[in-house]
Amino acid sequence: MKIRTKLLWLTLGAALIPMVIVAGIHRYAMLGVADEVSEIAYESLVLDASDYLQAQVDDYGRIINRDGIALRFALQVQANAVEQLLAAEPPALSEKAFFSEDFDKKDPGIKSLKPSAMHWRRGPTGEKIPIPVSRETPVFFAAKGVDKNSKAMARDIARLGAMRQAYEFLQTVSPGVFYWQYTALESGLHTCYPGKGGYPADFDPRKREWYIKAIARAGKIAEAKARGEAVDEDETYWMLLPDATSQQITLTVTMPVRRPDGRIAGVTGIDVDAGKILTQIRLPDAWAKAAQTMLVMEDDSDTQKTQKIPSGDSKVDKMVVVMQKQYAVADETRWNREINYQEFTTDDPADLAAILDDVNAHRSGVRRIRYNNVDSLCAYGRWEKGQAMPVVIVPYKLIVADGVRATEAIRKQTVQAMWVTGGVVLLVILLAVWVVIRRSRVFSKPILQLAKAGEELAGGNYQSHVDVRTGDELQDLGEVFNSIGPQLLERESMKRSLVLAKEIQQHLLPERSPVLEGFDIFGAIIYCDETGGDYFDFIEQDGQDGKNVGIAVGDITGHGIAAALLMASARAVLRSHVPQYGKNLAGLFEDINEHLVHDTDDDRFLTMFYGVLDSRNRSLSYVSGGHDPVMWFRAETRAVQELQNTGILLGAVPDVKFDQAGPFALDAGDVMTIGTDGIWEAMNPAGDMYGRERLEEVIIQNAERTAREIYDAVIASVRQFADTQPQADDITLVVIKGK
């Protein structure tokens, strides 16, 4: 064999072996990059999806909470109006009373009877047929066998005919929300607003589930109270039912009404279109079709069987789906059908147990579970007793779809690179050695740059930068690396901004407790975040009758930057209006409420207590907008009584009236404590709340001490109870002691 042949084989060996090694290293490195990128992408996508879903269910949970409070309040107003009319002499009928058959015949005396886009029923082919309704003429209905011409019936017709004004008022407060408003008496008389026809021939309101269960619940509550049991005394009953005239599924909320002697006279209720309830949860188009959106509630079927009403601290061990975005109900033409709720469950009992633990701890969360044999991400809101909890379930593969595509793209490029490398080996065999050296340098240089830059970034140099221009995945990785430093720098800047915001907010709080003759006063706030939504203030006033001090304590929904900004706004409005109103505390709160209603979003409001200590009379006058009761320890009796709030929370509803309470004289040794729910709602690791009873015990035990010492004793007691459980809400406490 000739030397040049040997040299050729040697050259080929020298070229092929390094090329094969480099190709293998390249493939191994790229597959490693693919795995690392996919892991980072999956984590990022899941984290972003979790944050998004958490925000959706939390925001919607607050909306449900707000709407539930508003609906319960509206129903109570409606029930009060009915009971007042039943207690009064029947008014003279100014207009003719129209019954359902009059509406069916379209009696010309009915005012403004016209089709409603809000009220409709399904036609034979599934089309929507608007139902004619009248917003000026309510409808009456008498059950079969009821003499609607009797004197007793005529009196009740005259009374309920006057309910139109109450119905119209509630419609103006919440326009477009209420589907029907109605009242049914035990006599078989039924009235509904807006007026309508189309009642089934065998319709009897007293046989409807909403009537029967509302009466039954009131009876169970009365029996339990008679037995001395601790029960939830709320007589409001919530359920889903098909409407008798439209056959549409409605959320029905009812409560009993009573005659002056306390006997139950019937039931009043409000219907809300169930189809609109879940429309406010928005999901990306890629998730929307496969995702499942639902509302779940505590299953009370066992409660119904045992005929008992649970107390407010009962534990949830089973939940049911009461509403889904596509709510499937068989036989949609039957108005008197029952809706059987599906139990909310997961494929793995451990997943369900973890979710129920969060439910009983009143925590929202996002968990990866298996649901209907699909690996999914489940987000659920914060559960409150008697209320629905939003749940969104999205298949996991949809969440990480972009990461899967990115990984597949990297792997595909790696395979293509291997084919190109093989082709280059065959075409440029004589230049193999040079190619191998060249390629090794191309790949080693950017990797070394990335390693060096990574060390600099770990050392705190956020400006560390690499210049990789290979045109392949390494360049993509270099670009990803270059974006990390600015993001870390931005997070550091945000952290400094939060520290500054905390300092600013602290400057808005009183620097010291006021000195007022006859009183010992101390107050402070402990925030759970850098900034918070609790607020207290001391406003010293010099009047003609001596020196006075205004005491303000507020609690804004939530905490953090948004709550801090609302707190600062509320503080500014309060301080600017106190000199104007003087001792007219009710007028002060009515003006403040109007400012906050216009300056805040629908999901932002606050509770506030404001009282004025009069040094001359040693007394306290106050007004309280939805704030928790003040605890007043009476030294003479060694007992604690509560001073209730005098109006609803601020910033939620316009044109609200408030009452002023007091003055209350404080004797020497009397102690008043004004706090926020961060005290009694503090939880220990077992999920138990601190409670107002423990707070009362601490106040009684330390009543002989100074205001500052009483404050310190309360805070020490709360911290000892919470143990290792982190503080979940701001804690504010003001202590006033008579001297």
Cβ–Cβ < 8 Å for 681, 721: no
Rounded CA separation 631/619 (Å): 15
Q: Is residue 500 part of a domain?
A: no
pLDDT of residue 305: 44
As a whole-number percent, the residues of the chain with pLDDT over 90 amount to 37
Q: Does one domain contain both 540 and 680? A: yes
Q: Count CB-CB contacts under 10 A for residue 91.
A: 12
Q: Give the total number of structural domains in the chain.
A: 2
Q: Give the residue from 345, 378, 397 where a domain finishes.
A: 397
Q: What is the pLDDT of residues 678-713, one digit of tens each?
A: 999 999 999 999 999 999 999 999 999 999 999 999
Q: Bridge partners of 342? A: 321
Q: Is residue 406 part of a domain?
A: no
Q: Is residue 437 part of a domain?
A: no
Q: Bridge partners of 537? A: 552
Rounded CA separation 100/192 (Å): 10
Q: Give the residue from 350, 379, 397 where a domain finishes.
A: 397
pLDDT of residue 278: 67
User: Read out DSSP for 305-325?
Assistant: HHT-PPPTTPPP--EEEEEES
Burial class of residue 9 in the structure, from the number of CB atoms within 10 Å of its CB (0-12 exposed, 13-18 middle, 19+ buried): exposed
Q: Is residue 443 part of a domain?
A: no
Cβ–Cβ < 8 Å for 225, 218: no
Confidence check: pLDDT of 571 > 60: yes
Q: Is residue 598 part of a domain?
A: yes
Q: Give the residue from 344, 366, 397 where a domain finishes.
A: 397
Rounded CA separation 321/342 (Å): 5
Q: Does one domain contain both 517 and 391? A: no
Task: Specify the CATH number for the domain of residue 657.
Answer: 3.60.40.10
Rounded CA separation 677/120 (Å): 45
Under DSSP, is residue 64 helix (H, G, I), strand (E, B) or coil? helix
Cβ–Cβ < 8 Å for 360, 313: no
pLDDT of residue 306: 42
Residues in Cβ contact with 322 at an 8 Å cutoff, skipping those fewer than 6 apart: 240, 295, 296, 297, 341, 388
Q: What is the pLDDT of residues 442-477, one digit of tens each?
A: 556 677 777 777 777 777 676 777 777 777 776 777
With a threshold of 0.75, does the pTM exceed it? no
Q: Round the average pLDDT of the chain to a whole number and report it.
A: 83
pLDDT category, 255, cuts 50, 70, 90? very high
Q: Is residue 346 part of a domain?
A: yes
Cβ–Cβ < 8 Å for 217, 237: yes
Mean pLDDT lowest among 160-169, 185-194, 494-503, 628-637: 494-503
Confidence check: pLDDT of 328 > 50: no
Q: Does one domain contain both 376 and 233? A: yes
Q: Is residue 503 part of a domain?
A: no
Q: Is residue 413 part of a domain?
A: no
Highest mean pLDDT among 76-85, 91-100, 434-443, 525-534: 76-85
Range of the domain at 299: 61-397
